[in-house]
């Protein structure tokens, strides 16, 4: 009965590779997010989708491309991985903005290590 | 830059004591939320306080909000070892219309038995 799940939990890869992280939520939410948590534990939003439409796109390199095939899924594809991409990536979901319930539900995170 | 700043960065207390964490932010907000993160895990929502509210309670948690000072505090009363975690405040900016959380740097709380 996992609410927000991510795969894989750990990802170790070489510089220059392309990798994807998948996220799924079974909460019936319309909005999903990707956050990056760096080694100093700073959390920063990267993207948000509402009903499969991109609504938040922070200043993230073009190498990062989110894809939302449906409301319950938001995947993150990263091209040409760099050392600085090493971080923990969290997926989250919530009800639509404006519905008055702003709390976000987070997945367990994917620890990406680029060698 | 990060919107929120939290202090202290780290807090170490004994079980049964109260823990107070503070958060400051820079711009007008719609609401402010507190989250807990256990080591190696995702974040868990604790409590939300809207910009027109001054104080909110949930179990052993008490949150205050002072919009004139752009600051909030989280008080955990009668702390337990299980409260050991990092605590983050996050603001939803007033403008934008989207549910964008801007996080503070977090406070690492250690509660010793």
For B40-97, write each residue's pLDDT tens digit. 899 999 999 999 999 999 999 999 999 999 999 999 999 999 999 999 999 988 876 6
Asked if B88 and B108 touch (Cβ cutoff 8 Å), the reply is no
pLDDT (average), residues B25-38: 93
Asked if A50 and A96 touch (Cβ cutoff 8 Å), the reply is yes
In this predicted structure, the answer to whether residue A3 has a pLDDT above a threshold of 50 is: yes
The pLDDT value recorded for residue A97 is 73
The pLDDT value recorded for residue A100 is 65
Chain A contact present for B44, CB below 8 A: yes
Using CB atoms, pick whichever of A55, A98, A104 lies closest to residue B101.
A104
pLDDT (average), residues A52-78: 91
pLDDT (average), residues A109-114: 97
**Torsion angle in degrees (nearest 10) through CA of B77, B79, B84, B88:** 0
Q: Summarize pLDDT for A12-41 with one digit per residue, the tens.
A: 999 999 999 999 999 999 999 999 999 988
Higher pLDDT, A87 or A101: A87
B contacts of A103 (beta carbons < 8 Å): 33, 45, 48
Chain B contact present for A55, CB below 8 A: yes
**How are beta strands B19-24 and B85-93 bridged, if at all?**
unpaired
Rg of the Cα atoms in chain B = 13
Nearest partner of B79 among B106, B109, B57, B47, judged by Cα = B109
Residue with tokens 């997926």: A91
In this predicted structure, the answer to whether residue B4 has a pLDDT above a threshold of 80 is: no
Chain A contact present for B86, CB below 8 A: yes
Chain A contact present for B2, CB below 8 A: yes
The pLDDT value recorded for residue B6 is 83
The pLDDT value recorded for residue A18 is 97
pLDDT (average), residues A53-81: 92
C-alpha A91/C-alpha A67 separation (Å) is: 13
**How are beta strands B85-93 and B71-76 bridged, if at all?**
unpaired
pLDDT (average), residues A82-96: 94
**What does pLDDT average to over chain A?**
92
Between A73-82, A84-93, B23-32, the lowest mean confidence (pLDDT) is in B23-32
**Torsion angle in degrees (nearest 10) through CA of A95, B63, B5, B19:** -130
């Amino acid at each position: 009965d996992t609410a927000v799940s991510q795969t894989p939990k750990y990802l170790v890869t070489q510089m220059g590779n392309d990798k994807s992280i998948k996220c799924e939520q079974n909460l019936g939410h319309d909005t999903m997010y990707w956050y990056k948590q760096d080694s100093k534990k700073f959390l920063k939003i990267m993207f948000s989708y509402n009903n499969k439409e991109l609504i938040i796109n922070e200043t993230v390199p073009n190498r990062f491309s989110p894809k939302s095939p449906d409301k319950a899924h938001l995947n993150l594809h990263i091209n040409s991985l760099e050392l600085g991409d090493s971080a923990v990536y969290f997926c989250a979901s919530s009800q639509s903005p404006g519905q008055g319930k702003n709390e976000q539900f987070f997945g367990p995170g994917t620890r990406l290590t680029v060698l | 830059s990060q919107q929120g700043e939290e202090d202290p960065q780290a807090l170490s207390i004994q079980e049964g004591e109260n823990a107070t964490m503070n958060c400051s932010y820079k711009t007008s907000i719609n609401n402010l939320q507190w989250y807990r993160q256990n080591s190696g895990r995702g974040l868990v929502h604790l409590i939300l306080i809207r910009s027109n509210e001054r104080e909110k309670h949930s179990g052993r948690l008490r949150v205050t909000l002072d919009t004139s000072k752009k600051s909030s505090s989280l008080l955990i009363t009668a702390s337990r070892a299980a409260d050991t975690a990092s605590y983050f405040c996050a603001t939803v900016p007033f403008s934008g219309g989207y549910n964008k959380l801007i996080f503070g740097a977090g406070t690492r709380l250690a509660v010793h038995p």
